[in-house]
Amino acid sequence: MTLTGIMANTLIAPAVPDILVDLDLSEGQAGLLIAAAAFPGIFVAPIIGLLADRYGRRPVLVPCLVLFGVFGGLASFAPSFEVLLLCRLGQGLGTAALINLAVVLIGDHWEGADRARVIGQNSAVLTTSIAIMPPLGGLLTDLGGWRFSFVPYWLGLVTAIAVVRVLPPVPRRDVTIADQVREAAWFLRSPSVVGAVGIGFVVFMLIFGLFLTVLPIYAAEGFGLGGTARGLLLGVPAVTSTTVALVIGRLRARHSATRLVLAGSAGFALAFGVIAGAPAIGLVVAGALLYGAAEGLTIPTLQDVVAGSAPASSRGSVMAVWVGAVRLGQASGPVIGGVALGALGGPGTFLAGAGVALALLVAQAAYRPGARTSPSA
């Protein structure tokens, strides 16, 4: 599920410059293309969480995987930008359930340090996929054009079959939707969840706005990289993010969530500053490695905080609200990044991103979101 979900944007990111040229689009429209797959999740993810808590995980996951695979695969045949956007929106309806319900399933079966360890392992799969998917997308683009980069999305149908075979059905919960919402709202008021929601929005806005939208264009225009080279560059952070994610369980045993997320924000600020001032591609690679370490610290830690804040009966709903905020960041980041790129250029946009990450660091130091003060504690 995680492997399938992460493909939504990472697979086609290296192809974005080619799509712009082929369909005669502006750089600002690149943001719309990336954001389209994230936008539906802003509104759909909370509903999906309620449904998953009410009817079980499998009845929700299977239709979402089918939507993901069908609309993602059909994008290969889009005759215009408008049709391509519609396919991306349909794919976004499907992807709204995937990565978050994977974490929910982990929360259903592990607790405490074991939960942090397995979430870290799942994040390592995610970051390893980030290393594999951009080069694959870039290679497909170089071999057969940007339309080839959409072909692997049919994998969603294979994953749907696997979910049917592996996940057992569960009895429907005998509670009203109103009671279900009230129960989830209790946990959503936890300071740890509120903090994780806010941080998740900003972090994913930076990830999707700067790294997945601005960097491929910056690499093509500023350093002359082709599709395969751009894909390799986007895969560089997976080296450090995977390494950090695999040891996140040990780090959580020694350090608070607050401290780890603070370190992640500091890493984002420094990484974006390095990329902004890079005179050569080697320093961009160094910044990308630092960015990956920050990502490996931040994302699994936030997931662990949210997954551990509620019992199984409300975990899907609470996790889905966090995902809704993340989707808002994913959808707004590319649009903001595309506009900033046109106004400030590549270095200026990354410098502005470093400023946002620094502001997040200061806000976290005051708010301390990782404190274990949730109602379930």
CATH assignment of the domain containing 333 = 1.20.1250.20
3-state secondary structure of 118: helix
Please count the other Cβ atoms lying within 10 Å of the Cβ belonging to residue 172: 10
Asked if residue 376 is part of any domain, the answer here is no
Asked if residue 377 is part of any domain, the answer here is no
Mean pLDDT value across the chain = 84
Asked if residue 374 is part of any domain, the answer here is no
- Structural domains counted in the chain: 1
CA distance 40 to 328: 9
3-state secondary structure of 176: coil
Task: Give the pLDDT band (50/70/90) at residue 372.
Answer: very low
Strands (E), the chain: none
Greater pLDDT, 68 or 371: 68
Residue of 291, 287, 318, 290 whose CA lies nearest to 305 = 318
Residue of 373, 8, 16 whose CA lies nearest to 196 = 373
The two tokens of residue 154 are 């049919």
Greater pLDDT, 348 or 36: 348
Asked if residue 180 is part of any domain, the answer here is yes
Asked if residue 40 is part of any domain, the answer here is yes
Q: What is the mean pLDDT of residues 255-269?
A: 91
| Phi, psi of 204, rounded to the nearest 5 degrees | -75, -25
Q: What is the mean pLDDT of residues 181-202?
A: 85
pLDDT at 339: 86
Instruction: Among 43-47, 100-104, 124-128, 297-301, name the most confident range.
Output: 297-301
Q: What is the mean pLDDT of residues 258-268?
A: 92
Asked if residue 34 is part of any domain, the answer here is yes
Chain centroid to CA 276: 23
CA dist list (Å): 65 to 46, 160, 299: 17, 5, 23
Side-chain half-sphere CA neighbours of 43 within 13 A: 6
pLDDT at 66: 95
Asked if residue 312 is part of any domain, the answer here is yes
Q: For residue 197, what are the domain limits?
A: 2-167+176-367
Task: Give the pLDDT band (50/70/90) at residue 176.
Answer: confident
Asked if residue 197 is part of any domain, the answer here is yes
Side-chain half-sphere CA neighbours of 61 within 13 A: 30
pLDDT at 173: 67
pLDDT at 172: 67
pLDDT at 264: 92
CA distance 353 to 359: 10
Question: Structure pTM?
Answer: 0.74
Task: Give the pLDDT band (50/70/90) at residue 370.
Answer: very low
